[in-house]
Amino acid sequence: MTAWLNTIAQGVLVGGLYAMFAAGLSLIFGVMKLVNIAHGDLIVLAAYVALMVTDALGLNPILSLIVVVPVMATVGYLLQRGLLNRALGEDILPPLLVTFGLSVILQNGLLQLFSADSRRLQAGGLDVASVKLAEGLSLGVLPLLQFALAVLVIAGLHWLFYHTRLGRAFRAVSDDPRVAQLMGLDNRHVFGLAMALSLAIVAVAGVFLAVRTNFDPATGPARLIFGFEAVIIGGLSSLWGTLVGGILLGVVQAIGAEIDPGWQVLAGHVAFLAVLAIRPQGLLGGARR
Amino acid sequence: MPEPPLLGVAALDAHYGDFQALFGVSLTLSRGEVAAVIGANGAGKSTLLNAIAGLIRSRHDAILFEGEPIGDLPANRIVGRGIALVPEGRRLFPSLNVEENLLIGGQIGRPGRWNLGRIYELFPVLAERRRQASTSLSGGQQQMVAIGRALMSNPALLLCDEISLGLAPIIVRDIYATLRQIVGAGTAAVVVEQDIGQALAIADRVYCLQEGRVALEGRAGEVTRADISAAYFGV
Amino acid sequence: MSGGVTRATRASNIGLVLALACLVALAFAPFWAGRDGMRLLIDAYLYLVLASLWNLLAGYAGLVSVGQQAFVGLGGYVLFGLAALAGVPPLLCIPIAGIAAAIIAIPVAAITFRLRGAYFAIGSWVMAEVFRLVASQISALGGGSGISLPAGIVTAMAASRHGREILVYWVALGLMVAILGGIVALLRSRHGLALTALRDNEMAARSNGIDVRRTKLVVFILVAAGTAMAGALIFLQRLRISPDAGFSVNDWTAFVIFITVIGGIGRFEGPFVGVVVFFVLRETLADLGSLYLMILGAIAILVMLKAPRGLFGFIAERTDTQLLPLQRRVRGV
């Protein structure tokens, strides 16, 4: 019994990571209807940036966030202004294919720079520390920290979207980009800020990914898929839905892995397909939009 | 040196792809004046307003505002110069509530007499509904939000695109009464209408468009209904 | 001269004659191309088939899938399963793979069609991942490490290696002609008109009474069948399949998308141009390894942004040519 409790608890905590993957993806789709196929590869890019920063500065990976987050946010803004804004329009094909091409470029660029070897960040003792909740049930400090941060990120995004000028601008541009210009909003700049924010979240997710698991240049697409599954399971237009979707995905994967290690990812896919078949609007997806 | 007119449109052409919607349209407006632009459906009235507001780019010097060419500026920079458009069909932001719709109108921070408090004085019913979704309001109330949203940018020139569309006559009367208050306080306006009566009553000058060209122009008191019918229908 | 609608132009008639002449020359390739040449041609045929099918799916029906590797791998596994486990002759397995894929495509569409536009793309990718993971769970087919075609089956096809290669070559050529011919026939049929309308404007097509969902479903099923047959042949040539090779997103989707986009999406001729460009680049730059893939990705992005109708579209818009009589045009009265 406690073994299962343990499995579920681990799954919930991993779900926080998936929720962060999902939140960045969902934010971009919400603001500019862009599905960023390179999202997973950008997460892996953030992991490599963290690797370089920790190597160069000798920082603890968690502290490296101070550098990685602004670096990735800048990458996001420049990427949007320099490339992605040009692909946006009525037709869904250009943004899709441009981000797909970007994904291939990122994967192979990382391969070129860092080889195909698996890497991992050491968090100096933090990665083995744990809190014992009951007999047979103990949770790692790092996963707990990561989950808390995920909740914080999503709460922060929610606050930003509904209580700040920038959030108001995001919603206005999403509703009606043409009329938004009449309010003095420069859509290209607003989109740039949205992508910067998305990649700031990606940076946090990437650092935790790097500390918790091995990564290599080819691991991006799977992160994209997990984030995407969390978005759909949780419900397209709901920020808190991404957290619910991430947690559910994490738990289902953990249970699948407990039954047979080969079923971990497959179980998540099956859960995703089941949600799609039975409740395509997602668990928290309501009537809005 | 005489002060330049507030707005000077000179030989403006406008295109949608291959389709030309305006042919050499010219229009002049002084500070505090109201121009009515009338014409049949498809005559190019909305296109003219969209071009002035910057939603359609045109030639650099086709549009002068306060003596400066703004024809090739994007819409988001024109609003900062002091031109605000109340778009056809109101086009409120559905995921913003009433107050947020107003606030976003003022977010460029242009100084002037209009602020949230003044808008609520002008339209008290909006103050009661400030937290409601803009989509839950009646058509007339939505039009008030759209006008208020444009005023929040403290424009020197207000462009109104068919603000009577789809509204009951009594509501239209109220809206126009309010508009009279607004222009009375010194704001110039270009009013596009199919409802000629309302437009003529408020306007100093009248422009009648027909198939993208100015078919008639004159002082509101001087043009007759017969002139307008002739220009309107091209007979 | 009376007015009317015609598809043929002078250039397209010349194109047709040239295409036939090429075909005859290609049929005799085993006698002039040499072994490496033949292998290259087989590769080109199969990529042309995959790209033309993806073009039909994404360029015409608007179903931008990044999960077509599901059907490439499925075709390969059907062939290996039937041939290695049930003793069915490998060549017979190819059409069976097509039928199996068509049947499986129905439930796949039922689920993935619930996702719109760009989300459909990722949904189709998830589906392909499900196929890959399921394949790696089937221990009879080698699980995660894959399976080779037993030597007995290989020699039963043709005694010598050379004979087998010629056989595979002709089958590949035949499959290409059949599938491209099928696409031409489809585009020239009543359904083709619906598809072209769909490509140009989905909303307008819908309001003109075209059953958009049904049209998309039919295209999805047909493309799945064609893709699986190509997949079966690809792995018959390789004699070995594994989940990672069969369901590779790079080999069966990234390259195919790049070929189509670079050549010209939404035009039948596009993939032809794309395949030529792709193989020229591959033969000259493949030594660069991952750098080559970066260049390919960058070219695809550049084409998408600067010439969204691809190289063929770019040329055709300026010269008003079409290589095959496919486009309907109004003849002067």
Task: Give yes or no for residue C127 having a pLDDT over 90.
Answer: yes
The mean predicted confidence, pLDDT, of chain B is 91
pLDDT at C332: 40
More confident residue, C152 or B98: B98
Domain count, chain B: 1
Residue C192: exposed, middle, or buried by beta-carbon count in 10 A (0-12, 13-18, 19+)? middle
Task: Give yes or no for residue B1 having a pLDDT over 70.
Answer: no
Q: What percent of chain B has pLDDT over 70?
A: 98
From residue C89, give the alpha-carbon distance in Å to each of C21, C93, C119, C236.
Answer: 32, 7, 40, 11
pLDDT at C322: 59
Helix/strand/coil for B15: strand
**Which residues of C fall within a CB distance of 8 Å from A232?**
115, 119, 123
Residue C298 contacts A where some CB pair is shorter than 8 Å: yes
What's the average model confidence in pLDDT over B185-209?
89
For A2-115+138-278, give the CATH class: mainly alpha
pLDDT at B188: 95
Question: Residue A130 gets which letter from DSSP?
Answer: E
pLDDT at C195: 83
Residue C139 contacts A where some CB pair is shorter than 8 Å: no
pLDDT at C254: 93
Band (pLDDT 50/70/90 cuts) for residue C2 is: very low
Lowest-confidence region among A103-117, B90-104, B156-170, C316-330:
C316-330
Task: Give yes or no for residue A287 having a pLDDT over 80.
Answer: no
What's the average model confidence in pLDDT over A84-88?
95
B205 token code pair: 């000058």
Q: By the 8 A CB rule, do A152 and A142 touch? A: no
CA distance A114 to C19: 46
From residue A247, give the alpha-carbon distance in Å to each of A9, A215, A220, C27.
Answer: 10, 21, 20, 57
pLDDT at A212: 86
- Per-residue HEC secondary structure of B116-144 comes to HHHHHHHCHHHHHCCCCEHHHCCHHHHHH
pLDDT at C1: 40
* B142 part of a folded domain: no
Nearest Cα to C10, choosing from C317, C321, C272? C321
Lowest-confidence region among B143-157, C10-24, C107-121, C294-308:
C10-24
More confident residue, B80 or B41: B80
Lowest-confidence region among A202-216, C157-171, C203-217:
C203-217
CA distance B42 to B19: 12
Band (pLDDT 50/70/90 cuts) for residue B221 is: confident
CA distance B46 to B14: 11
Task: Give yes or no for residue C318 having a pLDDT over 80.
Answer: no
Interface contacts (A, C; CB < 8 Å): 121
pLDDT at B16: 85
- CATH code for the domain in which residue B78 is found: 3.40.50.300
pLDDT at A286: 58
What's the average model confidence in pLDDT over C268-281?
93
In this structure, which long-range contacts are made by residues A251-260, counting pairs with CB atoms below 8 Å and at least 24 apart in sequence? A251/A8, A251/A11, A251/A12, A251/A15, A252/A11, A253/A11, A253/A14, A254/A7, A254/A8, A254/A10, A254/A11, A254/A14, A255/A7, A255/A8, A255/A11, A258/A3, A258/A4, A258/A7
Task: Give yes or no for residue C225 having a pLDDT over 90.
Answer: yes
pLDDT at C5: 55
CA distance B100 to B145: 10
What's the average model confidence in pLDDT over B121-145?
94
Q: Please name the helix (run of DSSP H) or strand (run of DSSP E) that holds residue B216, with its range, or none.
A: strand B213-219
Q: Do B and C make contact, counting contact as 3+ CB pairs within 8 angstroms?
A: no
* B133 part of a folded domain: no
Lowest-confidence region among B115-129, B193-207, C270-284:
B193-207
* B212 part of a folded domain: yes
Task: Give yes or no for residue C327 having a pLDDT over 60.
Answer: no
Band (pLDDT 50/70/90 cuts) for residue C189 is: confident
Q: B190-199 as b/e, with b when 16 or more CB fall inside 10 Å? A: bbbbbbbebb
Residue A101 contacts C where some CB pair is shorter than 8 Å: yes
* B33 part of a folded domain: yes
**Which residues of A fall within a CB distance of 8 Å from B91?**
176, 179
Task: Give yes or no for residue A125 having a pLDDT over 80.
Answer: no
Residue of B76, B90, B160 to mutate for A, most A C-beta atoms under 10 A: B76
In this structure, what are the phi and psi dihedrals at residue B172, rounded to the nearest 5 degrees?
-60, -40
What's the average model confidence in pLDDT over A218-225?
94
Q: Are B74 and A181 an interchain contact pair (Cβ–Cβ within 8 Å)?
A: yes
Handedness of CA A146, A147, A148, A152 (dihedral sign): positive
- The domains of chain C, with CATH numbers, are 4-331 (1.10.3470)
The region, left, alpha or beta by phi > 0 then psi within -120 to 50, assigned to residue C62 is left
Cα Rg of chain A (Å, integer):
19
pLDDT tens sequence across B147-179: 999 999 999 999 999 999 889 999 999 999 999
Q: Give the Cβ contact number of residue A91 at 10 Å.
A: 12
More confident residue, C190 or C132: C132
Band (pLDDT 50/70/90 cuts) for residue C321 is: low
pLDDT tens sequence across C89-108: 999 999 999 999 999 999 99
Q: Could you tell me which chains touch chain C, where touching means 3 or more CB pairs under 8 A?
A: A
pLDDT at A289: 36
CA distance C106 to C124: 13
The whole-angstrom distance between A246's CA and the closest CA on chain C is: 16
Band (pLDDT 50/70/90 cuts) for residue A133 is: confident
The mean predicted confidence, pLDDT, of chain C is 88
pLDDT tens sequence across A16-51: 999 999 999 999 999 998 999 999 999 999 999 999
Residue C1: exposed, middle, or buried by beta-carbon count in 10 A (0-12, 13-18, 19+)? exposed
CA angle C288–C289–C291, rounded 5-degree value: 70
What's the average model confidence in pLDDT over C216-245?
95
Residue A151 contacts C where some CB pair is shorter than 8 Å: no
Which residue among B87, B93, B105 places its CB closest to the CB of A171?
B93
What's the average model confidence in pLDDT over A119-133?
80
Host domain of residue B51: 7-92+155-233
Residue of A90, A170, A183 to mutate for B, most B C-beta atoms under 10 A: A183
More confident residue, C168 or C8: C168
Band (pLDDT 50/70/90 cuts) for residue C7 is: low
pLDDT at B69: 94
Residue of A166, A173, A182 to mutate for B, most B C-beta atoms under 10 A: A182
Band (pLDDT 50/70/90 cuts) for residue C325 is: low
Q: What is the ipTM of this complex?
A: 0.92
Chain B 134-173, residues with CB within 8 Å of chain A CB atoms: 149-150, 153
What's the average model confidence in pLDDT over B213-219?
89
* B103 part of a folded domain: no
